[in-house]
Chains A and B, each alone.
Chain A
Amino acid sequence: MKHVVIVGNGMAGHRVATRVHAARPEWDVTVVGAEPHAAYNRVLLTNLLAGRPDAERLTLPWPDGLPAPLTGHRATAIDRAARSVVLADGRELRWDRLVLATGANPVLPPVKGLVSDDGHLHPDAVAFRTLDDCRRIADLASRRRRAIVLGGGLLGLEAARGLAARGLEVHVVHAMGHLMERQLDPGAGAALAGALAELGVTCWTGAQAARVLGGGRMRGLVLADGRHVPGDFLVVSCGARPDTQLAAAAGLTTARGVVVDDHLRTSAPDVYAVGDCAEHRGVAHGLVEPAWEQARIAAEALTDGDPGPGYTGSAPLTRLKAEGLDLAAMGDVEAEEAHPDAEVLHFSHSGRHVYQRIVVRGERVVGAVLLGDAAPAGPLSRLYLTGARIPLDRRLLLFPGLAAGAQDTEPSDAVVCRCAHVTAEAIRRSRSEGARDTADVARRTHATTGCGGCRSAVERLLTEG
Chain B
Amino acid sequence: MTRAGVRDDPPEPAAPEAVPTHCPYCALQCGMWLGQDASGTVHVRPRDLPPNRGGLCAKGRTAAELLSPAHRLTTPLVRRAPGAPLEPATWDEALARVAERTVALRRDDGPDAVAVFGGGGLTNEKAYLLGKFARTVLGTSRIDYNGRFCMSSAAAAGTRAFGLDRGLPFPLEDLEGAGAVLLVGANPAETMPPFMRHLHRQREAGGALVVVDPRRTATAEEATLHLRPRVGTDLALACGLLHLAVAEGLTDDAYIARRTTGFHQARDSVAEFWPERVERITGVPVADQRRAVRLLAAAERAHVLTARGAEQHSKGTDTVTAFINLALALGLPGTPGSGYGCLTGQGNGQGGREHGQKADQLPGYRRLDDPAARAHVAAVWGVPEHTLPAPGPSAFELLDSLGTEGGPRGLLVLGSNPVVSAPHAGRVTDRLRALDLLVVADVVLSETARLADVVLPVAQWAEEDGTMTNLEGRVIRRRRLLPPPPGVRTDLEVLAALSRLLGHDRGFPSDPHAVFTELREASRGGPADYSGISYERIDAEHGVFWPCPSQEDGAGTPRMFTDAFAHADGRARFVPVEDRPLAEEPDDAYPVLLTTGRSAAHYQSGAQTRRVTSLTAREPEVYAEIHPDLAARHGLTDGGPVRLVSRRGTVRAVTRVVPAAPLDTVFVPFHWGGEGRVNSLTHAALDPVSRMPEFKACAVRLEPL
Q: Which residues of A contact B (CB under 8 A)?
A: 41, 43-44, 47, 52-55, 57-62, 289, 317, 319, 321, 323, 326, 374-375, 377-379, 381-382, 385, 388-389, 391-393, 396, 403-404, 406-407, 418-421, 442-444, 446, 449-453
**Contact of B11 with A385 in the complex, beta carbons under 8 Å:** no
Closest to A323 in B: B290
B294 to A: closest C-beta gap in Å: 11
Residues of B contacting A418 in the complex (Cβ-Cβ under 8 angstroms): 189-190, 193, 218, 600
Q: Does B86 contact A (CB under 8 A)?
A: no
Which 8 A-B pairs give the minimum distances between C-beta atoms?
A53-B249, A443-B10, A451-B196, A451-B193, A378-B283, A450-B193, A374-B287, A61-B268
A235 → chain B closest CB, angstroms: 21
Chain B 281-307 against A: per-residue CB contact (8 Å), 1 yes, 0 no? 011111110100000000000000000
Across-interface contacts of B629 in A (CB, < 8 A): 391-393, 396
Given pairs A61-B271, A421-B58, 6 additional interface contacts (CB within 8 A): A59-B271, A61-B268, A374-B287, A378-B285, A418-B218, A453-B196
Chain A residue contacts of B286, Cβ below 8 A: 319, 326, 374, 377
| In the complex, chain B residues whose CB is within 8 Å of the CB of A319 | 276, 279-280, 286
For residue B230, which residues in chain A have a CB less than 8 angstroms away from its CB?
382
Contact A41 B190 (CB under 8 A): no
Which residue of chain B has the shortest Cβ distance to A455 in the bound complex? B200
Q: Given A374-B288, A418-B218, is A450 in contact with B56 using a C-beta cutoff of 8 Å? A: yes
Interface: B536 (CB within 8 A): no
Q: Could you say which residues of chain B place their CB within 8 Å of the CB of A449?
A: 11, 46, 55-56, 61
Residues from chain B with a CB closer than 8 A to the CB of A41 are 271-272, 274
Question: In the docked arrangement, what's the CA distance between A453 and B248, Å?
Answer: 35
Whether B566 is near chain A, meaning CB under 8 Å from some CB there, is no
CA distance A388 to B46 in the complex (A): 49
B197/A442 in contact, CB under 8 A: no
Shortest C-beta distance, A43 to chain B (Å), equals 6
The answer to the question of B386 belonging to the interface, with a C-beta cut-off of 8 Å to chain A, is no
Q: What chain A residues lie within 8 Å of B632 (beta carbons)?
A: 392
CA distance A406 to B58 in the complex (A): 27
Give the interface segment out of B351-359, B656-664, B675-683: B656-664
Residue of A with least CB distance to B248? A52
Residues of B within 8 A of A323 (CB): 290
- Which of chain B's residues have a CB closer than 8 A to the CB of A420? 57-58, 61
Q: Chain B 211-242 against A: per-residue CB contact (8 Å), 1 yes, 0 no?
A: 00000101000100000001000000000000
Q: Mark B247-285, 1 if CB is under 8 A from A, else 0.
A: 111010000000000000101110110111101101111
Cβ-closest chain B residue relative to A419: B193
User: Contact: B279 with A60, CB < 8 Å?
Assistant: no
Chain A residue numbers with a CB within 8 Å of B107 are: none
Contact of A451 with B200 at beta-carbon distance under 8 Å, contacts A378-B283, A446-B58 already known: yes
In the bound assembly, the distance between CA atoms of A317 and B290 in angstroms comes to: 21
A-B contacts, 17 listed (Cβ < 8 Å)? A59-B271, A60-B272, A317-B280, A319-B279, A374-B286, A374-B287, A378-B284, A381-B280, A382-B230, A404-B216, A404-B659, A406-B659, A418-B190, A418-B218, A419-B58, A451-B195, A451-B200
Let me know if B200 and A452 touch, CB within 8 A: yes
Query: Is B268 within 8 A of A60, CB to CB?
Result: yes
**Contact partners of A60 in chain B: CB under 8 A:** 268, 271-272
- Whether the Cβ atoms of A58 and B271 lie closer than 8 Å is yes
Given contacts A58-B271, A326-B286, A420-B58, contact A450 B633 (CB under 8 A): no
Given contacts A44-B247, A52-B249, A442 and B280 within 8 Å (CB-CB)? no
CB within 8 Å of A: which B424-470 residues: none
A382 touching B283 in the complex, CB below 8 Å, given contacts A54-B249, A419-B193: yes
Tell me if B8 counts as interface (CB < 8 A to partner A): yes
Q: Are A442 and B11 in contact (CB under 8 A)?
A: yes
Pick the contact of A404: B251, B288, B660 (CB < 8 A): B660
- Taking CB atoms, residues of chain B closer than 8 Å to A58 are 271
Interface class of chain A by DSSP: loop
**B280 in contact with A419 (CB, 8 Å):** no
CB-CB under 8 A from A393, the residues of chain B are 628-629
B363 at the interface (CB under 8 A from A): no
* A289 and B278 alpha carbons, distance in the complex (Å): 12
- For B247, the chain A residues whose CB sits under 8 A away are 44, 47, 52, 54-55, 57
In the assembled complex, how far is the CB of residue A324 from the closest CB belonging to chain B, in whole angstroms? 9
Interface residues of B in 45-86 (CB under 8 A from A): 46, 53, 55-58, 61
Residues of B within 8 A of A (CB): 8, 10-12, 46, 53, 55-58, 61, 188-190, 193-197, 200, 216, 218, 222, 230, 246-249, 251, 265, 267-269, 271-272, 274-277, 279-280, 282-288, 290, 576, 600-601, 618, 627-629, 632-633, 659-660, 663-664
In the complex, are the beta carbons of A419 and B659 less than 8 A apart?
A: no
The reply to whether B55 and A450 contact each other, CB–CB distance below 8 Å, is yes
Contacts of A453 on B, CB cut-off 8 Å?
189, 196, 200, 222
Residue of A nearest to B196 (CB): A451
Q: A54-B246, A377-B285, A451-B57 are contacts. A385–B280 as well, Cβ < 8 Å? A: yes
Q: How far is the CA of A39 from the CA of B628 in the complex (A)?
A: 47
> In the complex, what distance in Å separates the CA atom of A406 from the CA atom of B628?
11
Contact of A61 with B55 in the complex, beta carbons under 8 Å: no
Closest Cβ of chain A to B602, distance in Å, is 13
Give every chain B residue within 8 A of A317 (Cβ-Cβ).
280
CB distance from A289 to the nearest CB of B (A): 8
**Residues of B close to A391: CB separation below 8 A:** 627, 629, 663
Residue in contact with A419 in the complex, picked from B57, B265, B271, B277, CB distance below 8 Å = B57
B276, A321: Cβ atoms closer than 8 Å: yes
- Asked whether, in the complex, the Cβ of B276 is within 8 Å of the Cβ of A407, the reply is no
Chain B neighbourhood of A443, CB < 8 A: 10-12
How long is the Cα–Cα vector from A55 to B288 in the complex, in angstroms?
20
In the complex, what residues of A have CB within 8 A of residue B57's CB? 419-420, 450-451
Report the minimum CB–CB distance from A191 to chain B (whole Å): 17
Which residue of chain A is the closest to B265 with respect to CB atoms?
A61
User: Which residues of B sit under 8 angstroms from A404, Cβ to Cβ?
Assistant: 216, 659-660
Contact (A403, B660) CB under 8 Å given A419-B193, A449-B55, A450-B57: yes
Q: Provide the residues of chain A in CB contact with B627, threshold 8 Å.
A: 391, 403
**Are A61 and B283 touching (Cβ within 8 A)?**
no
CB–CB A421/B268 < 8 A: no
Report how far A289 CA is from B272 CA in the complex, Å: 11
Identify the closest chain B residue to A445 (Cβ).
B8
Instruction: State A374–B61 Cα separation when bound (angstroms).
Output: 44
Bound CA span A54–B46, Å: 51
Q: How far is the CA of A88 from the CA of B207 in the complex (A)?
A: 60
Contact partners of B274 in chain A: CB under 8 A: 41, 43-44, 321
How far is it, in angstroms, between the C-alpha of A326 and the C-alpha of B279 when the chains are bound? 12
Docked-complex contact B197 and A452, CB < 8 angstroms: yes
Q: How far is the CA of A404 from the CA of B251 in the complex (A)?
A: 34
Which of B58, B189, B230 is most buried by chain A, counting CB atoms within 10 A of its CB?
B58
Q: Tell me the bound Cα distance from A41 to B498 in angstroms.
A: 64
* Contact indicator A57/B56 (Cβ below 8 Å): no
CB distance from B522 to the nearest CB of A (A): 38
Question: What is the minimal beta-carbon distance from A7 to any residue of chain B, in angstroms?
Answer: 22
- Are A61 and B576 in contact, CB atoms less than 8 angstroms apart? yes
When distances are taken between beta carbons in the complex, the residues of chain A under 8 Å from B282 are 378
Q: Do A375 and B285 contact each other (CB < 8 Å), given the known contacts A60-B268, A61-B271, A319-B280?
A: yes
- Residues of A contacting B195 in the complex (Cβ-Cβ under 8 angstroms): 451
From known contacts A377-B286, A442-B11, infer whether A451 and B618 are also in contact, taking CB-CB under 8 Å: no
| Given A319-B276, A378-B284, A382-B230, A446 contacting B194 (CB threshold 8 A) | no
Q: How far is the CA of A156 from the CA of B244 in the complex (A)?
A: 22
In the complex formed, the residue of B with least CB distance to A443 is: B10
By a CB distance below 8 angstroms, the chain A residues around B600 are 418-419, 421
A452 near B196: Cβ-Cβ < 8 Å: yes
Q: How far is the CA of A35 from the CA of B663 in the complex (A)?
A: 46
